[in-house]
Amino acid sequence: MPEPVTPVSFPSAFLWGAATSAYQIEGAAREGGRTPSIWDTFSHTPGRTAGGDTGDVAVDHYHRYREDVALMARLGLNAYRFSVSWPRVQPTGRGPAVQVGLDFYRRLVDDLLAAGIKPAVTLYHWDLPQELEDAGGWPERDTAHRFAEYAQIVGEALGDRVEQWITLNEPWCSAFLGYASGVHAPGRTEPVASLRAAHHLNLAHGLATTALRSVLPKHASIALSLNSSVVRTVTQDPADLVAGRQIDDLANGIFHGPILHGAYPGTLFESTASLTDWSYVHDGDLRAIHQPLDALGLNYYTPTLVSASGPDTAGHQADGHGASEHSPWPGADGVTFHQTPGERTEMGWTVDPTGLHELIMRYARQAPGLALYVTENGAAFDDKPDQDGRVHDPERVAYLHGHLSAVHRAVADGADVRGYYLWSLMDNFEWGYGYEKRFGAVYVDYATLERTPKSSAQWYGQAARSGALPPAGTP
Name the amino acid, one letter, at 106: R
Helix (H) or strand (E) holding 103: helix 99-114
Name the amino acid, one letter, at 302: T
Which residue intervals of 325-454 are DSSP H helices? 353-366, 394-412
Residue 442: helix, strand or coil by DSSP?
strand
Is 376 among the residues known to form the active site?
yes
Is 430 among the residues known to form the active site?
no
Q: Is 425 in contact with 22 (CB distance < 8 Å)? A: no
Q: Which of 427, 415, 340 is closest to 385 using CA atoms?
A: 427
> Out of 26, 140, 376, 395, which one is annotated catalytic?
376
Q: Which of 42, 160, 157, 162 is closest to 90 using CA atoms?
A: 157
CA angle 281, 137, 202 (to 5 degrees): 40
Q: Which of 69, 141, 75 is closest to 105 using CA atoms?
A: 69
318-353 CB burial, b ≥16 within 10 A, e <16 = bbbbeebebbbbbbbebbbbbebeeeebbbebbbbb
Name the amino acid, one letter, at 216: L
Q: Which of 450, 324, 446, 455 is closest to 381 using CA atoms?
A: 455
CA 69 – CA 50 distance, rounded (Å)? 29
Distances (CA, A) of 212 to 103, 113, 158, 245, 333: 19, 21, 11, 34, 39
Helix then strand then coil, in percent of the chain rounded to 5, is 40, 15, 45
Q: H helices then E strands: how many in the chain? A: 17, 13
Main-chain dihedrals φ then ψ at residue 249, nearest 5 degrees: -65, -45
> Out of 170, 325, 358, 430, which one is annotated catalytic?
170
pLDDT for 319? 84
pLDDT in tens, the chain (475 residues): 444 456 789 999 999 999 999 999 999 999 999 999 999 999 999 999 999 999 999 999 999 999 999 999 999 999 999 999 999 999 999 999 999 999 999 999 999 999 999 999 999 999 999 999 999 999 999 999 999 999 999 999 999 999 999 999 999 999 999 999 999 999 999 999 999 999 999 999 999 999 999 999 999 999 999 999 999 999 999 999 999 999 999 999 999 999 999 999 999 999 999 999 999 999 999 999 999 999 999 999 999 999 999 877 655 566 889 889 999 999 999 999 999 989 999 999 999 999 999 999 999 999 999 999 999 999 999 999 999 999 999 999 999 999 999 999 999 999 999 999 999 999 999 999 999 999 999 999 999 999 999 999 999 999 999 999 999 877 6
Span between the terminal Cα atoms of the chain, in Å:
26
Which residue intervals of 305-450 are DSSP H helices? 353-366, 394-412
CA 115 – CA 121 distance, rounded (Å)? 17
Backbone conformation region of residue 89, classed left if phi is above 0, alpha if psi is from -120 to 50, else beta: alpha
> Cβ atoms within 10 A of the Cβ of 73, count?
17
Is pTM beyond 0.85? Reply is: yes
